[in-house]
Amino acid sequence: MPDYEIRVAGPIGRVVASCLPGFSTTAVPAATVLRGTVAGPDELRRILDLLNAHGLPPIDIQIDPGRTALTGRP
């Protein structure tokens, strides 16, 4: 299962964060970074739909952000 990093504009409240089990949230200036594992495309779509429904469209999505392109290891 790949790890994802999803960046959204603005803060994410506790209610939305509670709907994203397995994801950590980190507030950075003018954005929030969510990090977690996604089981597959259907779960990723559910997460993106949830964020959009709460007015938090993703501004950046990265797959396995901690891995290097050549080795696949951190």
CA angle 33, 39, 41 (to 5 degrees): 85
Pairing verdict, β 23-28 and 3-9? unpaired
CATH class of the domain at 3-63: alpha beta
Tell me, what DSSP letter sits at residue 51? Answer: H
Beta bridge partners of 25: 34
Q: Per-residue confidence at 64, pLDDT binned at 50, 70, 90?
A: confident
The ranges assigned to domains in the chain are 3-63
pLDDT over 90 percentage in the chain? 59
Tell me, what DSSP letter sits at residue 28? Answer: E
Give the CA distances from residue 40 to residues 12, 15, 19, 63, in Å, rounded to whole numbers and listed in that order. Answer: 23, 23, 17, 12
Rounded distance, CA 53 to CA 51, Å? Answer: 5
| pTM beyond 0.85 | no
Statement: residue 4 has pLDDT above 50? yes
